[in-house]
A and B are shown apart, each in its own frame.
Chain A
Amino acid sequence: MFLRISFLALAALLVSGCANNSPVLGNKNISYGDTKAVETVTNEFGSTDLQMIAESMTRSLAQSGVLQGRPVVQVYDVKNKTSEYIDTREITTSIKTQLMKTGAARFASDNNAMDSQVDQLKLQNQSGLYKKSTVAKTGNMIAAKYRIEGSISSIVKRSEDYKDVFYKFSLQLIDVESGLAEWMDEKEIRKTTER
């Protein structure tokens, strides 16, 4: 009897010991990292640069006091004047998202979203498919009081021992009616690789 119980206990122990209760499935060489970590894999434009630029510009603009009364802003794509490929739309998307979260501004449809907006208005008003009381009326879109424009440029220098990249990101807020620049800021980033 004792032998049988011991055998059962040992079997149960072995089974529970072998049970895999890890929530991970797949290759152990792949792992999720900290999205906010300082990325220095290469000295090309990277995630840390994008995050630092968006953070710095958004906070400077929100705190400047120019955006009183949640004005409507239109964001234009950032001009890439560097020699490398940078998805500048992601910079404006991040700035827009962070400004939206602060509640400092509202955003008009930008150039890329305008086609979809016009298509949807046309579809609702011209197709005859929708119940009239639910159709969005034309002529009610809110025009932007300000527009945001920016650019990113770089100076790259190489020697036998070093590669130095200097990025300069500029952003400005312009009053559409007067054409006056009401706010402007810059963010400079230097990345050096020692070979």
Chain B
Amino acid sequence: MRFKLIAVGALALLAGCATPPPPEPGSAASKVVAMGKTKNIVVGAMRVARENGYMTVSVQLSNTSFNNKNMYYRFAWLGPEGFPIAEEESWKSLTLYGEQTRFLPAIAPTPKAVDFRLEINTP
């Protein structure tokens, strides 16, 4: 009986680990779309402002390993309904040196943008 209980508990724990809770809507994590492994790349604080009508974003990216990391990124700009309002951006290449923190600046292509997604891909 005890074995069964332990087994059920272990299963529940495993299931809990396998499906982390989705990020809260509006949080910084909810704006990041990671494609592939992003081990040692941490997306930190995001600064969002509106300058001369255009949404401007600055995203903190940190490399937690000692080795240099290459990654690709692009922003997707969304309108009030949550749909993309401009043509897809081109992917950009970025090198993060070992233990480096960088800020990615971005400007929306149109004043109509109210939200964004940061797409990250690693080679």
Contacts and interface: CB of A to CB of B under 8 A. Distances in A.
What secondary structure prevails in chain B residues at the interface with A? loop
Contact of A48 (B88, B90, B111): B90
Interface in B73-115: 74, 86, 88-93, 107-111
A36 interface: yes
Contacts of B74: 36
A74 B80 CA distance: 33
A64 B54 CA distance: 9
What secondary structure prevails in chain A residues at the interface with B? helix
Contacts, number: 49
B89 A55 contact: yes
B51 interface: yes
B39 to A, nearest CB: 20
Contacts of B51: 63, 65
A52 B102 CA distance: 19
Nearest to B108: A59
A38 B72 contact: yes
A37, A62, A65 interface centre (most CB from chain B within 10 Å): A62
B109 A58 contact: yes
B52 A64 contact: yes
Interface of A: 36-38, 40, 47-48, 51-52, 55, 58-60, 62-65, 98, 101-103
Closest 3 CB pairs of A and B: A51-B90, A65-B52, A59-B107
